[in-house]
Structure 1
Amino acid sequence: MHQSRFQTKISLHLSGPLQVIGSPQPILATPGDDVILPCHVEPPVNVAGLTVEWSRPDLRPDPNDLQKRVGFVHLYRDSREVLDMKISSYVLRTALFLDDLRRGNISLKITNVTLADEGRYRCFIPKLKSLKKSSIIRLDIDQSSNKTSTETPLYPKILQTPGPTEEMHSEAGDVSSRSRLAPLFAFLLIVAFVVGGFLVRVCVWKKKKRKKVSQMLYFLFLASMYFLQVLENKGNRMCNLCVDLFLWETVD
């Protein structure tokens, strides 16, 4: 212990003018966050053997409690935390970075902040050989950021992309419409086959060239393939009937 204090005194003399510097900007947090109030000694110096006090200048001490007229957010003395003079609402919620005290870092960590934690904080090293032994850091708690809106917007956006149910209904409607048109195409195909067969018989009867007959048969075959692709479901059966009829007409 004495050696640590002796080393601290030597380092203080060799480092020149010292000052405690805190964050010039307010620290913003929301309820439930863990925050760090930055504060350090500049130039860096070992303060592990010195007393470090964190207090709230805005809070008035309790006049009825003589032992706790001066309440600390965190009190570090003799290389350990002192709990006897700690404000009750900060018990088990504050901590220093002990390993960084040797580099002059006296920042304070506060866990699970609440609205009551908002205000000014003072970091202070009483025995520091400096004209500036303390600094003030402000902590602001943003209450509005802790609220989650569950209200329905007044003018919800209309999405142009259909959902899976709408797509399913659309596809079903297309299939249904095609199914209704299948009998009509089948009827037209039957008429085409009958007329085609009749023309083939006429051409054969008139003893025309077989080349023209073959061209007509090829044309009818292409037409039948086209209608076969159009027909679905019930139309397939009627299409097969048409093909059989065409073959019968051709053979005869």
Structure 2
Amino acid sequence: MRFLGRTCLIVLSLLPAVSTQTDGSSVVGSDQPLIASPGEDVILPCHITPSLSAVDMEVRWYRENFKIPVHLYDDRRDRTDVQDSYYRGRTALSRLRLEEGILSLDLRNLRPSDSGVYYCYATDGVWDGQGKTELIVRGQC
């Protein structure tokens, strides 16, 4: 019984540190649309506030369909096998920025059809948050 009591005390003393790691954190996108031209590269802004490393999180960028990601980072790697083929080879996340809680997506070689709302979702399996950013790709004149 004495061992069980100590074990419970140790576990209980660790709980606040584990449960409050992401307490109060949120994912923030951009409140202003980004405007760019076809062929340009942009960075769709998104970050965790207050700053929290996302290296061990799932980070998912998507548009209308959560299950078909524009970009998926999971298990410490980019998951191009489930990425929307329309975006394959045109997106990137920075590992260094992930360490700082910056989830911004690099999107290259813009096309007019890239216009729309992009959602940035992050989860560690217990906590999750989502932000959004609108992209407007101007048509060619």
Q: Please name the residue that 1:46 is paired with.
A: 53
Aligned AA (1:53): R
Decide whether aligned partners of structure 1 residues 128 and 27 sit closer, same or farther in structure 2, where only a CA change above 3 A counts. Answer: farther
Map 1:99-178 → 2, pairs under 5 A: 99-127=96-124, 129-130=126-127, 133-143=129-139, 146-147=140-141
1:75 pairs, out of 72, 77, 83, with 72
**3-state SS, counterpart of residue 99 of structure 1:** helix
Distance in 2 (alpha carbons) for counterparts of 1:104 and 1:12: 18
Q: Please name the residue that 1:210 is paired with.
A: none
Q: How far off is 1:109 after superposition?
A: 0.5
Q: How far off is 1:16 after superposition?
A: 3.9
Aligned AA (1:22): G
Distance in 2 (alpha carbons) for counterparts of 1:16 and 1:126: 13
Q: How far off is 1:129 after superposition?
A: 4.9
TM-score after normalising by structure 1: 0.46
- Report if the CA contact (8 A) 1:12-1:45 is conserved: no
Aligned AA (1:136): K
C-alpha distance after superposition, 1:93-136 (max 9, x if no partner): 00001101111000000000001111111100133654x61011
Q: Which has the larger radius of gyration?
A: 1
Q: Please name the residue that 2:62 is paired with.
A: 55
Q: Please name the residue that 1:89 is paired with.
A: 86
Q: How far off is 1:15 after superposition?
A: 5.7
Q: Please name the residue that 1:21 is paired with.
A: 28
Aligned AA (1:141): V
Asked whether 1:35 is paired with 2:42, we answer: yes
Aligned AA (1:105): I
Structure showing the higher helix proportion among its residues: 1
- Report if the CA contact (8 A) 1:95-1:109 is conserved: yes
- Report if the CA contact (8 A) 2:120-2:131 is conserved: yes
C-alpha distance after superposition, 1:65-117 (max 9, x if no partner): xxxxx211000001100112111111110000110111100000000000111
Aligned AA (2:25): L
Aligned AA (2:105): L
Q: Could you list the runs of 5+ residues in structure 1 that have no partner in the other structure?
A: 1-9, 62-69, 148-252
- Report if the CA contact (8 A) 1:11-1:46 is conserved: no
Aligned positions, number? 125
Aligned AA (1:99): L
Instruction: Give % identity.
Output: 34
Q: CA RMSD, aligned part only?
A: 2.0
Q: Please name the residue that 2:10 is paired with.
A: none
Q: Could you list the runs of 5+ residues in structure 2 that have no partner in the other structure?
A: 1-16
